[in-house]
Structure 1
Amino acid sequence: MSARPQDLEVRLPDRPGALADLGQALGGRGVSLEGGGVFTHEGQAVAHYLVDDGPTALAAVVAARLGPAVVRDVAMTRLDQETPGQLGALARLLGDAGVNVRVQYSDHAGNLVLLAADEHTALCRDVLERWERG
């Protein structure tokens, strides 16, 4: 198991049942989905799910012969849900620091999950630490 949750990205085949195949492949290996979803853009379905065991999740996808897949590290924080503008304020700090955020979603506990460009993950975590300190 990884020390931190990771993002599993899977480019799903364009056919009925592809999402079911993904869910069954992961569930069959004991991989729990902690947040994320499937998004379609220009006819391409891409799943992004937060998983606690990235290597096992990736192995399950490969064994099921689903689309190309990759596991990446994420950065996570909390936003004050009662304060409008929190996402914009944090995103501005990230952008001003040069962090390219590629994917953003929430986990089941309401944490903000950010997938930055690989070379920006450490910098993203630094910005989030400053954000959390206020």
Structure 2
Amino acid sequence: MKDIEILLENSPGQLALLGETLGKNNISLEGGGVFQNGENSIAHFLVAEADKAKEVLAKEGIVVNKINEVVIQKLRQDVPGQLGMFCRKMANAGVNILVQYSDHSNQLIIVVDDILKAKIVSDEWKRQC
């Protein structure tokens, strides 16, 4: 799975066009969100076929800014503070979290500035929990 970062015009129908385009091309969104930023919106979505998504969206004039590696982590929903604890471990390792959202399986998805360090922290978290 990878994260695609998409620049959308902030106008009616843009998210519909994105969803319809991916759906017609049998590309499923596994999590993500859209965030308004002035005249544009920034979207981040988790997809299995990032390169294909970029290609089909480009044909509709939708720009995929980046394709990002992600860390996928399961947090314990019954333990308050899991997000803070996990993010503190990332911060202590010098990892900056650039994007955070959840997938459809209630897993934490993060895009980071140092994927190698982040995977080490994530693997350690999985062993401890």
Sort the TM-score into its range (normalised by shorter chain). over 0.9
Q: Tell me how far apart the structure 2 counterparts of residues 130 and 70 of structure 1 sit (CA, whole Å).
A: 28
For the 8 Å contact 1:13–1:67, the answer to whether it is kept is no
Which residue of structure 1 lines up, in the alignment, with residue 125 of structure 2?
131
Give 2:87's aligned amino acid.
Answer: A
Give 2:111's aligned amino acid.
Answer: L
Report matched runs for 1:27-42 at 5 Å: 27-42=23-38
Give 1:17's aligned amino acid.
Answer: G
For the 8 Å contact 2:10–2:36, the answer to whether it is kept is no
For the 8 Å contact 1:79–1:86, the answer to whether it is kept is yes
> Identity percentage over the alignment?
37
Post-superposition offset of 1:69: 2.8
Which residue of structure 2 lines up, in the alignment, with residue 116 of structure 1?
112
Post-superposition offset of 1:27: 1.1
Q: Tell me how far apart the structure 1 counterparts of residues 23 and 50 of structure 2 sit (CA, whole Å).
A: 13
Post-superposition offset of 1:43: 4.4
Name the TM-score, length of structure 1 as normaliser: 0.91
SS at match of 1:93: helix
Which residue of structure 2 lines up, in the alignment, with residue 80 of structure 1?
76
Post-superposition offset of 1:44: 3.0
Report matched runs for 1:4-23 at 5 Å: 5-23=1-19
CA RMSD of aligned residues (A): 1.1
Which residue of structure 2 lines up, in the alignment, with residue 69 of structure 1?
65
* Structure 2: unaligned runs, 5 residues or longer: none
Post-superposition offset of 1:68: 4.4
Comparing 20-29 with 91-100, greater Cα deviation is found at 20-29
